[in-house]
Chains A and B, each alone.
Chain A
């Protein structure tokens, strides 16, 4: 039958649909054989406990695979994922095992683009999946998928990425990418900016002399609103998390409910040993974060904390009655029996222990 002009758009449409939903291999949890780790349950997912080394190893049964670096490996977990996932494969006629691992970063639906993974091609003889998780935890695998993503899948992934929520991290004060992770694209902003440009140009071409700047303003506002919807949704989800953690608590209880609870709690108790409001307190730590937090929660006491410098000044800077708050990690050597503290320069100070905690120590300089 000769190809008519009416067939061409239909063929094009078919090709688009076909490429949108590119073929995929999907394996539910029932297709895996457990080689390492303990099976806890198989209903509703394969629940496993890692061995003493934190390892789980699964073999994909009867896998007839063709590997390609265009593929993407996707995993789905019920609850917390393992810390790392490994793909391990072998070709027939060879004992060589190939391995590639990646961190899940807490994402229960981690994905790995296999572009650039060495030796990921051809038809392997065996494919195994390794999980690394803390001993005593539980990992529940729902399914694994290996697919060359079509444009529809990529669009879905992009939207999912743009609308993904995670609670505030310290680095959020420095930048906002619009995606779940820093280096994870595609980013939404250029997409919406391009959309705005295209729509504005189309508006100008269609309306011609009747086009005006107010019309362009409506298009710009509409595109901005659409992009901003992701951000507003994320803010509301964050408010939920914040309120769940801190709402209804008084000022002090909020601090003790925060991630600073350990340091703030220790400092609160330690301050009972610091009688004078004019007391000098030296904060020592090799961790910027720990030192900074300790100094903050000691306020309004007169504190000394040297970021990126020696943990403490020379012994000549100290006077009897000064306090030293050491927060782990620290290179200072405290000899409880001798009642002395060795400083970074090698000097020793006579000290009295005032309070000891799991990761902090309050000392007072004695005569």
Chain B
């Protein structure tokens, strides 16, 4: 019974986004990569479906309608009908996306594909058993996310959260409180939705969205990798490498944090942005902008990751030379803005006064250890740095993507080297959690550069 309920919830979650995307995407993205369309569709449907479901839950709360399988199924049905009425993208027209130049995978490439698929299946099984057996374990899940989800589930509605002081002033009437009332509520809504589907709060099964996010990350990555010109073996090998990163797996196994979902969303935005920069197809830009904007719905730092897309978009629209000049001017503008804005003005949950800007060199050692010594990401950091160095010389089409990655990296380094968040680096508490939001995108960037190099080899 629970399985049937969960499957129903999955269909309700994925179907509206899937149908809308199916209507939007061209009929055939690449003749050499027919599977790319379905995996791309699947991955983005899961991701955007989860985000859309959380928005629908907010809407239902505004309208005073309690969450249930029926109310959400009704809302999903309306969206599906609207998608059906939408004129589809021209069918039969092939996407101009760069197709991988391979004709048929060779014998060794087939072995690589089979091996990687087997390893991914093994990983899915081990993570699936862990996450479905273990009750909510991790600190932030209990302190914040799952605690809020439990309230939303029991009340079948979103309720306002205020600061401790405000809660005391209001006597707790009609409001709840926790240590971070300003955090976005997408993650708790997903857990509440899972509980609604099952019919009761289940200490393990409410974590299933994290397994789904892991799957979506892989599907988005593979689909976009194929459109970026990676052959089947290269794409599946890179997908396996991404999905096998220990720290990413830990966030599935010890589910309950919002960072994995944000990492998937940012990857989806960055990958779409890259393929738009190459193919100039509007639907990729739409995906990039949608997923970039959606980052803000997941965690406060999603606002800054969304901003990091702007340099890449600028370079694509106005060219490299003009783009660099504009970016330099924008950087000066940002510095001037920081200089002039009031210290208590809050942007994305933080004010200048609260972040206490000054140089904190003690963060260098944790940064070095986390990326270049510890096994959080296996050796992706080394590969990404090599890819970044290679871009100006032999992968210039990845320059806009490199601009995005460098912007995100600078923002990340600023967070830990110049703000009070440095304590999160010194004690290794938030350092890797925030990095998880960026590393899947870094993996795609590395793959995109590598695919360019491989294509050059094949053209020789």
Contact = CB atoms under 8 A, between A and B. Distances in A.
Interface of A: 168, 170-178, 187-190, 192-193, 196, 212-214, 217-218, 220-221, 223-225, 227-228, 231-232, 235-236, 238-239, 242-243, 246-247, 251-252, 254-255, 258, 280, 292-293, 295-296, 299-300, 302-304, 306-307, 309, 313, 317, 319
Given A220-B383, A221-B241, A299-B150, A175 B171 contact: no
B204 A251 contact: yes
A289 to B, nearest CB: 8
B145 to A, nearest CB: 10
Contacts of A252: 203
Contacts of B419: none
A174 B432 contact: yes
Contacts of B123: 232, 235
B147 A295 contact: yes
A243 B143 contact: no
Contact of B254 (A173, A213, A304): A173
B379 A196 contact: yes
B454 A214 contact: yes
B414 to A, nearest CB: 21
B137 A187 contact: no
Given A175-B370, A176-B247, A213-B457, A239 B126 contact: yes
A190 B432 contact: no
Given A255-B203, A313-B168, A224 B241 contact: yes
Contacts of B360: none
Interface string B149-171: 01101110000000010011001
B201 A176 contact: no
B370 A307 contact: no
A236 B122 CA distance: 10
Please classify the interface of chain B as helix (H, G, I), strand (E, B), loop, or mixed, using the class held by over half of its residues. Answer: helix
B142 A178 contact: no
B372 A258 contact: no
Given A170-B138, A212-B454, A228-B119, 16 more contacts: A173-B257, A175-B247, A176-B247, A187-B373, A189-B374, A190-B379, A193-B382, A214-B454, A227-B378, A228-B378, A231-B244, A232-B122, A246-B135, A254-B134, A255-B203, A258-B135
Q: Considering residues B135, B140, B247, B454, which has the most beta carbons from chain A within 10 angstroms of its beta carbon?
A: B135
Nearest to A171: B428
B209 interface: no
Interface of B: 112, 119, 122-123, 126-127, 129-130, 133-135, 137-140, 142-143, 146-147, 150-151, 153-155, 164, 167-168, 171-172, 176-177, 179, 200-205, 234, 237, 241, 244, 246-247, 249-251, 253-254, 257, 370, 372-376, 378-379, 382-383, 428-433, 450, 453-454, 456-457
Please classify the interface of chain A as helix (H, G, I), strand (E, B), loop, or mixed, using the class held by over half of its residues. Answer: helix
Contacts of A235: 123, 126-127, 130, 249, 253
A299 B177 CA distance: 12
14 contacts: A172-B254, A173-B254, A177-B375, A189-B373, A224-B378, A228-B244, A235-B130, A238-B253, A239-B130, A246-B133, A251-B200, A292-B143, A304-B172, A307-B179
A8 to B, nearest CB: 37
